[in-house]
Each structure stands twice: as structure tokens, then as C-alpha cells.
Structure 1
Amino acid sequence: MAAPPRQLPLDLPNQPALRREDFLAAPGNAAALALIDAFPDWPARVVCLVGPEGAGKSHLAAIFAERSGARTLPARALEREGVPEALSTGALVLEDLAAGTFSEAALFHLLNLAREQQAYLLMTARTAPSGFALATADLASRLRAVPVFEIDPAGDALLAAVLVKLFADRQLAVDEPTVQYLLLRMQRSVAGAKRVVDALDQAALAARRPVTRSLAAQVLKEQPALASQDEED
């Protein structure tokens, strides 16, 4: 008897839930979450969230943007002539600030104009901007003065909750043994959780089967880059 045809998975973007009630609070993100919850009572009008890929920076930024009416702009897209428009609502999220990827002149102008207009600016980065090697001394001085709120790498409890949330975002029901199996074998980061859930979503759709422990084992075997470097065969 011929095997049933495999369904071609469509690369349709899932829409993660980015409301305040969807954010997974943990000790490692408590300070950053408290900052967003305290808006507009901030220690400074320009602040920076710092943490690894997938730590929740964009989620917190989305909560802030919804509450403040802020626009959201990738740091690499910031241009000096566009700064006034970027701050036109009185608040801005500048995402993914990384050394060597943005215009120093544009960022310096943005910081100056935000201070002049008393606008709110929330920046996100993987490393603290105070450590960037910059050609503009005045910009380096400005960035050293920006309060930084760090988000620590996720622990076991948060990673398990992230897996459950990511599966729920895709309307996939997954049992606890499967979650625990993945937790012990996947790359131990929120970004790693996202990649393994994406892969399982695609595999489940292609095979027309639910996400189970056996499917998880198959996907991790077929895509070893998803597994923890400490995982042994």
C-alpha cells in the first residue's frame, strides 16, 4: 500500500502573542519588566534593554510601544534626516542596536533631539552600548550615561514555559513529557527554543501528525544544529 502523500509545508509567519499578559516573567527579566510596567515613571527618558537573542527584548518593547504610542525602528535603518519623524509621537523604540551597524551621526542627533523634546527612547541591544567602539566621542559619552536594564539567559523553568507558549502561539498541543524531552536536548536559550519549535511545526505539518516525543527525537536527529552541544547520542 502506498504511503500517504506528504503535505508541503507553507512558510507562513506565525504571529506571536506580544501583550503584557503573554510575557513570561522570571527573576532574570524582573528589572526590565518592572521598567516597562513603571512607564512613564522612568529613571531617565532614554533607556536600553540588553540581553541575548530571544530574551524578550522585542516583547517588552512592543508592550512599551502599545502604551506610549511609540514608533518602532531598526537601528540599522536610522537616518539623520528621518530623526524628527521617528520622534514625532514623543516616543520611539530603536531595536537591535549593535556596534558597526548604525549611523553614529543619526544616533547622536536622535539622542540630542530626544533630550530637547523630552521624548521617550527605548533601545534594545545584545550587549551594553557603553562598550561599543565608536568614532564619535560625544556619542560614546551619551551612551555611557544611558541606564541599562539587563535580561539574563533563561533558566529551566522559563525555557519550559517558553516552549509551551511558542507551541500555543502556533496552536499546537504538546504534552509535558515532550516539553521535558526537548528541554534536556535542545540548545539552551530562548532563541534555541524558537528554532526547535519552528522545525517541529514544519515537520508536523509536512507529516500530518501531532508534535510528540518521537517526532521531537526525529527532528533533533535530522537537524543536529538544533540540539545542545552537550547532548550525546
Structure 2
Amino acid sequence: MARQLSFDLPVRPALGREDFFVSPGNAMAVALLDGWRNWAGGKLVLYGPEGAGKTHLAHVWAGSTHATILNAADLEGADIPALAKNHVAIEDISAIAGNRPLEETMFHLHNLVLAEGNRLLLTDVRPAQVWGLSLPDLQSRMQGAQSIGLKAPDDALLSAVLTKLFADRQLFPSPDTISYLLRHMDRSFSSAIKVVAAIDKTGLEQSRAVNRKLASEVLDKLRSA
């Protein structure tokens, strides 16, 4: 079969509440986000591995509270007083560790949001205790925040994540594809993201349907890479 060009078409993740699968590993986090009015100190740290659903949950929360979502690295030049007028979600906090100007901006935002009586959601792959922030006042306030971790996926959750990742790319795998992947892929959210992207790319290049055979070939290729 002739090799076809593949195009990096935009992947549009579905980030609505109805698209989020609640399982024992994330049910407590969902409950805490639903109870945002009662967060201790007005803030919450949500942490967990890549692809665990932090960004999805942040968007769900923002949709229900009209909060603004920003990556911590994008705080440079932000209008902090204006941001603090609403609830705010800041993602990937540890990315600014060691960047004194951004840490000071984050500290200013933290104080203003809470002073305005609004809520602050903070996300990262790791708990606040190991973010390594160089500004002691900011690190202490992050460590003092109420926090909840998203746990490693069980079969039901990983299956739902794979299904969603395929759907985000408008792919429709055969019924046995996901069960095969669950048995043979590395059991992590980051692996699920990598595998689905590789299946999508290979399927486009070779004009093939997404099925168990394609999944097997892609996994073999990823292992040997």
C-alpha cells in the first residue's frame, strides 16, 4: 500500500463535565471541586500524573465558576489585579520554580485572589511539598493548601481515558482494540496519550482502520524505539 502523507490536524479534547469519567481513583477530587465554596483557606492543590485529568477537571471547575485558567509560565506580564477579580486556576506551578519574577507574580496573585474572597485552584504533576519554589513565602503557602491527588488508573478508568483520547481524534477503534491495549500497554495516562497518538499517526500514514492488529504493530514499534 502506498504511503500517504499525514497531516497534524488539531486535536480538540472534549473537556465538559459529561466527558469526565468518575472512578474510585478520582472521586474524591471531583467531590472537592464540586465543594469549592468550602475549600480550606480558599485554595486547592490538584496533583497527579500527566493525562490524569487535571486540566479536564480544571476546565470543568472553571466552566461552573467562571474562573480564568492560566499556565504558571504564562503569568509574565499578566494583569494580576484584574485576574484576582475572579476565581483562578493556575496549572503546572512547578514549571516556575527558580524563576524569581514569576514566583513573585504568583505570590502576588495568590494573595490578591484570596483577599478578594475568590478561589484559587493549583495543578501540577507532583504535590506542593516537592515543587522546589525558591520564594519561601510562596512555597509555605502552597504547602499549606488543601490538596488532593489523582491516583493511578484502574481498568475502568484507563479504558475510559483511551476511549476519550480516540474520540478526541475522531477515531473509532474496533471493539477488541481497547481491551488489547489494556492488557499490553504500560499502565499510565502518559502512555495512553503516547499510544493513541502513535496509532493515529500510523493509521493516517497507511490509510488503515484502528483495530487490534494496528494497535499490536504500534506497541511493538514503540517498545523497540
Tell me if both proteins adopt one fold, taking TM over 0.5 as the criterion.
yes
Tell me which residue corresponds to 2:67.
Answer: 70
Q: Secondary structure at the match of 2:79?
A: helix
Displacement after TM superposition at 1:187 (Å): 2.0
Q: Indicate conservation of the 8 Å contact 2:68/2:83, yes or no.
A: yes
Tell me which residue corresponds to 1:56.
Answer: 53
Instruction: Report which stretch shifted further, 33-42 or 144-153.
Output: 33-42
Separation of aligned partners in 1, 2:31 and 2:83: 25
Separation of aligned partners in 2, 1:61 and 1:186: 27
Separation of aligned partners in 2, 1:180 and 1:7: 28
Separation of aligned partners in 1, 2:129 and 2:23: 26
Give yes or no for the alignment of 1:93 onto 2:89: yes
What percentage of residue pairs aligned between the two structures are identical?
41
Displacement after TM superposition at 1:97 (Å): 1.1
Q: Indicate conservation of the 8 Å contact 1:175/1:212, yes or no.
A: yes
Separation of aligned partners in 2, 1:215 and 1:54: 23
Displacement after TM superposition at 1:63 (Å): 0.5
Q: Indicate conservation of the 8 Å contact 2:94/2:133, yes or no.
A: no
Separation of aligned partners in 1, 2:47 and 2:166: 26
Give yes or no for the alignment of 1:16 onto 2:13: yes
Unaligned runs of 5+ in 2: none
Separation of aligned partners in 1, 2:149 and 2:224: 27
Give yes or no for the alignment of 1:40 onto 2:37: yes
CA RMSD of aligned residues (A): 2.0
The residue identity in structure 2 corresponding to 1:116 is: A
The residue identity in structure 2 corresponding to 1:157 is: A
Unaligned runs of 5+ in 1: 227-233
Separation of aligned partners in 1, 2:144 and 2:209: 50
Give yes or no for the alignment of 1:82 onto 2:82: no
Separation of aligned partners in 2, 1:222 and 1:105: 45
Q: Secondary structure at the match of 1:27?
A: coil
Separation of aligned partners in 1, 2:134 and 2:215: 48
Q: Indicate conservation of the 8 Å contact 1:76/1:101, yes or no.
A: no
- After TM superposition, what 4+ stretches of structure 1 lie above 4 angstroms from structure 2? none
The residue identity in structure 2 corresponding to 1:23 is: F
Q: Secondary structure at the match of 1:148?
A: strand
**TM-score (normalised: structure 1):** 0.87
Q: Indicate conservation of the 8 Å contact 2:98/2:134, yes or no.
A: no
Tell me which residue corresponds to 1:137.
Answer: 136
Change (3 A) 1:125 1:217: same
Tell me which residue corresponds to 1:188.
Answer: 187
Separation of aligned partners in 1, 2:81 and 2:189: 35
Count residues in correspondence: 222
Q: Indicate conservation of the 8 Å contact 1:114/1:121, yes or no.
A: yes
**TM-score (normalised: structure 2):** 0.90
Displacement after TM superposition at 1:81 (Å): 6.0
Give yes or no for the alignment of 1:31 onto 2:28: yes
Change (3 A) 1:225 1:150: farther
Displacement after TM superposition at 1:198 (Å): 1.0
Tell me which residue corresponds to 2:221.
Answer: 222
Displacement after TM superposition at 1:86 (Å): 2.4
Tell me which residue corresponds to 1:149.
Answer: 148
